[in-house]
Amino acid sequence: MKKTTTAIAGLPLFEGVEPAEIDRLALDMRLVSVAAGQMVFSQNDESRYVLFLLSGALTAVYWTADGQEIVFTRAGHGACFGELSAIDNQPRSLAVVANTDVSLLRIEQDSFLMLVDEMPVLRHRLLCDLVARIRSLTRKTLELTTLTAEQRVCAYLTRLAIETGHFHPGAVIAPAPTHAEIASTIGCNREVVSRTISRLVRRQAIRSGRRRIELLDPATLTAAL
């Protein structure tokens, strides 16, 4: 079995798909590596390939005209990037940067669209993923318009803890995002995040260290919402 077939068969999006079914399609795909701190593809890039993250961590960001960085998502194993441009033939809307050394499976546009056409289960899962993103963007829009900056920090930490399975007393999130990363994700400045984190530490809701957040009292986070 080819390494690329083994890699794609191990992705959550392809769970239950037989490797022989993947081999039958003769997909144009290959394994690639990107070093930590390097850009995987840039904002407005004209490329159309799709990437699946096999190991490491990536961040999707948007840079405004004045150079402000807005973090849209941080992703781990199995995450799919670049499918929007593969589907609508438009330039990349976000840049993707490697947080760590990463291993990726790159599938060319024609092969990705063939997968969508030939595999109903993949098509359904992809649609569900896109719907989940729309719901997430709706939630973030509501948070930006209805919550204070401090409440947005609490909401972010709560969501991060739940998504990583760490929403209980004594749980440790590591590596945790920096204050700058949190700020660019929730639409405020780093100083506001730092002050809010300090207040949460004083209230014994969390214990904060370098790239490490320990939840002491999760209920204090949710009480602020």
**Whole-Å CA distances, 128 to 7, 25, 80, 108, 159:** 22, 23, 13, 22, 20
Range(s) of the domain holding residue 171:
148-223
CB 119 within 8 A of CB 113: no
- Residues 153 and 133 reside in one and the same domain: no
Task: Write the pLDDT tens digit of every residue in 149-164.
Answer: 999 999 999 988 888 8
Domain finish residue from 90, 115, 142: 142
* Burial status of residue 191 (CB atoms within 10 A of its CB: 0-12, 13-18, 19 or more): exposed
pTM, to two decimals: 0.74
Query: What six digits make up the tokens of 78?
Result: 């199995």
Task: Write the pLDDT tens digit of every residue in 31-83.
Answer: 999 999 999 999 999 999 999 999 998 989 888 887 777 888 878 788 999 99
- Residues 21 and 101 reside in one and the same domain: yes
Q: Is 50 helix (H, G, I), strand (E, B) or coil?
A: strand
**What is the H or E stretch that residue 63 is in?**
strand 58-63
**192-201 mean pLDDT:** 94
- Residues 7 and 89 reside in one and the same domain: yes
Query: What six digits make up the tokens of 225?
Result: 């919402």
Query: What six digits make up the tokens of 17?
Result: 């798909």
Q: What is the domain count for the chain? A: 2
